[in-house]
Amino acid sequence: MLRYIVRRLLELIPTTIGILVLTFVLFNVVGGSSAEVVLGKNATKASIEAFNKRYGFDKPLLVNTKSGESFFDSQFFHFVANVAKGEFGDSTEHREPVVDVLKRGVGPSLSLTVPILLGCTVLGLALALGCAAFRGGAFDRSVLVMSTVLMSVNYVVWVLAGQFFLAFKLRLFPIWGYESAFYIVLPAMIGVLSSLGVDIRFFRTAVLDEIYKPYVRTARAKGLSGAKILVKHVLRNSLIPIVTFISLSIPYLFTGSLLLETFFGIPGLGSVSLNAINSADLAVVRAVVLLGALLYQVVNLLTDLAYAALDPRVRLG
């Protein structure tokens, strides 16, 4: 196990370098002049030069080949060094370090996305197990119809319908803001509803793939109850695809739900990202993209390690 962990950590090095290079190229090369994007096309030459000098865009792009100057005194190496120190530059919109902007958004994003993930996982697994227990029956068909309806309705429709009927008409929930935990209830409910259909379908398929295997017939022959077979044997053996599916959503816990946060006025990272895009705050957008990619790597590593703990048949080497 230790050898596998070390090998996987070493494999992260070239991938991380690739992420840094790709992010740098996208925001510093492909995107054109950052000064023109932020200041506008009518900016004067003097203001562009001042902007470039303030944010280090006057330095060579990749390496510094000027005589008498350091080879590493370039935009790329300064970018890598800052990322290694946990610094992502200054926000042009907020006039403060990007790290401080992101810190303020992490809490609201997690308070919204964690309940959505937990709600979808618990409800999805419970309904999927129910479908497996009563497969082909009225309950199974009803859940399949419900999941199809949930998948067919557009995400924005759920948001607008929830705000109009539950918040505006019935006044059961606040329609905008982030003053207490109660403000999270409605967007969390909408987030669960909009994602539950896909989760039920996937979890049901994963459970049914296991329920027809020989060990289930053997367990029944030994007199084990259906509930015990489902929970103790079938669910455990179907956890690998389920954990893989869930792990794909974990990086988005930190980067936030862009639509929900925007519609409900929640100051999370999703809302921060959208505002940064609208105001051409490239430092914030770049930081969110970079952190999302790095988190995805870490989650993949933890998911692989979880396989061996969930299923003794898996051997990591």
Q: What number is the average pLDDT over the span 29-38?
A: 73
**pLDDT-derived band at 205, boundaries 50, 70, 90:** very high
Please name which of 299, 305, 302 lies closest in space to residue 248, comparing C-alpha atoms: 299
Q: Rounded CA gap, 247 and 299, in Å?
A: 7
- DSSP structure class, residue 175: S
pLDDT of res. 148: 93
Q: Rounded CA gap, 23 and 14, in Å?
A: 14
pLDDT of res. 92: 83
- The per-residue pLDDT for range 138-165, each reduced to its tens digit, is 999 999 999 999 999 988 999 999 999 9
115 or 64: which leads in pLDDT? 115
194 or 38: which leads in pLDDT? 194
**Percent of the chain whose pLDDT exceeds 90:** 44
**pLDDT-derived band at 312, boundaries 50, 70, 90:** low
Q: Rounded CA gap, 312 and 47, in Å?
A: 63
Tokens describing residue 242? 């389920």
- The per-residue pLDDT for range 241-274, each reduced to its tens digit, is 999 999 988 887 877 788 899 899 999 998 898 8
Tokens describing residue 1? 């196990």
Can you say how many angstroms the Cα of residue 279 is from the centroid of all Cα atoms in its chain?
23
Element (H, E) at 211: helix 182-211
Q: Is pLDDT above 60 for 95?
A: yes
Please name which of 243, 242, 241 lies closest in space to residue 302, comparing C-alpha atoms: 243
Classified as helix, coil or strand, 134 is: coil
Please say whether the beta carbons of 176 and 156 come within 8 A.
no
pLDDT of res. 184: 95
The number of residues making up the chain comes to 317
Torsion of CA 297, 23, 275, 263, to 10 degrees: -40
pLDDT of res. 316: 63
Q: What is the mean pLDDT of the chain?
A: 88
Q: Is pLDDT above 90 for 213?
A: no
- What's the pTM? 0.85
Q: Rounded CA gap, 131 and 141, in Å?
A: 8
Please say whether the beta carbons of 266 and 274 come within 8 A.
no
Separation in Å, CA 183 to CA 156, 173, 175, 260: 18, 7, 8, 12
Q: Which residues contact 275 (CB under 8 A, 6 or more apart)?
A: 93, 281
Classified as helix, coil or strand, 96 is: strand
40 or 74: which leads in pLDDT? 74
Tokens describing residue 200? 């039920």
CATH number for domain 102-310, candidates 1.10.3720.10, 2.40.110.10, 3.40.718.10, 3.40.640.10: 1.10.3720.10
pLDDT of res. 51: 84
pLDDT of res. 36: 73
Q: Rounded CA gap, 102 and 81, in Å?
A: 19
**pLDDT-derived band at 113, boundaries 50, 70, 90:** very high
Q: Is pLDDT above 70 for 239?
A: yes
Q: Is pLDDT above 60 for 185?
A: yes
Classified as helix, coil or strand, 97 is: strand
Sequence ranges of the domains in the chain = 2-85, 102-310
Tokens describing residue 316? 């990591």
